[in-house]
Structure 1
Amino acid sequence: MPLHVSPAPAPALRSVLTALGSPTAVREAPTPSLRSAEEPATAELPLPVHVLDGITAESGAVTRLTGWRFLIRSGGRSVAAADTVLTADGWAFSRFFEGPYIDSTERALHQAETLAQPYQPRLLSVPGLYMLALWLHGDCAADGAEGHPAATDLLVPLAPAPPGIAAHRPHRVAELLPVLTHRVTPVPLLGTPA
């Protein structure tokens, strides 16, 4: 089934396109692949980036939108990514970057396209575990900037994943949330009351 990619806010896309058109921004970016790209670069596949702020028994995963990420493609392949953030003046370009999450995101998106059910792709960052996952939201008509993971949504941990969590294996939120809860819950020190 095709993925239903939410459109990014127009100012977020404009800020990335402006940065791509700026020789200074591209030259100063820590992205050798983008700097050496011989063909024009385009910003594609905007994904809302949500951060897991906590996990509660009542509401499950508590998340908040922190930005939009675009894959930057040149010559038929992803060479970098661009992040935007919401500022007091609206959406603004934040940075270009590259690394293992670029290929991993692309691989997870291709995996998701083979699933029988349609999904809306998002990214979920779990800072306490240094983990990033492709979040496949079951409500394709939802605003990609809103909402929380539903129990039936899928999370696909991206590589590199934390030890004990398999990268590129889709998990229902209801299955993976208890594992994440256990991992991010601080362990009381010996001799201190729990």
Structure 2
Amino acid sequence: MEPMANENAALLNPAVAEGAALRPRSRKARADLNPGTVEALTRRLCDVLDAGDFYGRHASLPAAEKIGKLFLASAGDREQSEFNCSVSPKVRQQVPLLFQAMAGVMEERSGLLIQSSAEINGEGFGRGLLYSGRVILVLRSLRAGFPFPFTSVEKTIRYGAECIEEGLAFLDKYHELTSEHGLLSLEG
């Protein structure tokens, strides 16, 4: 805000000025992740990676090392994605694999069939989608490939777990809304 606007707000309402002074200037605080979701996503991502490891070369690796070797992008892949708006092949591989793993975890938790659809074009624009029937649970737009490519296991798992929790919360809310009036009441 402009300095003048801050002064006017302080004159009109002193509580606004106090609240603005106490508010820290940092990223929003992130909630702690559910350990069960983290473990399930790590396991499911390893299962998806094992499905693509046709000869089982990496089957004996621990989960973090397997994700690091088969899934994570290197610094060179990250630079390639940032150079002249093109997306590296590693990013184009990461997007559908992560959304498949998230769909698997949501299926385990909800007992419903959860499907994933993820696409990204050469310039990094696309979307990732998790849905059940006609209900869209998670929709993520990708702009210039952001937040991909992931270069650390922690960021990958945090992103996936947050999407899973968001989708399951929406699914619970959806069931609550349709339980009283039925499914047809929400159709437009």
Q: TM-score range by the shorter chain?
A: under 0.3
TM-score by length of 2: 0.26
The higher radius of gyration belongs to: 2
TM-score for the superposition, normalised by structure 1: 0.26
Higher fraction of strand: 1
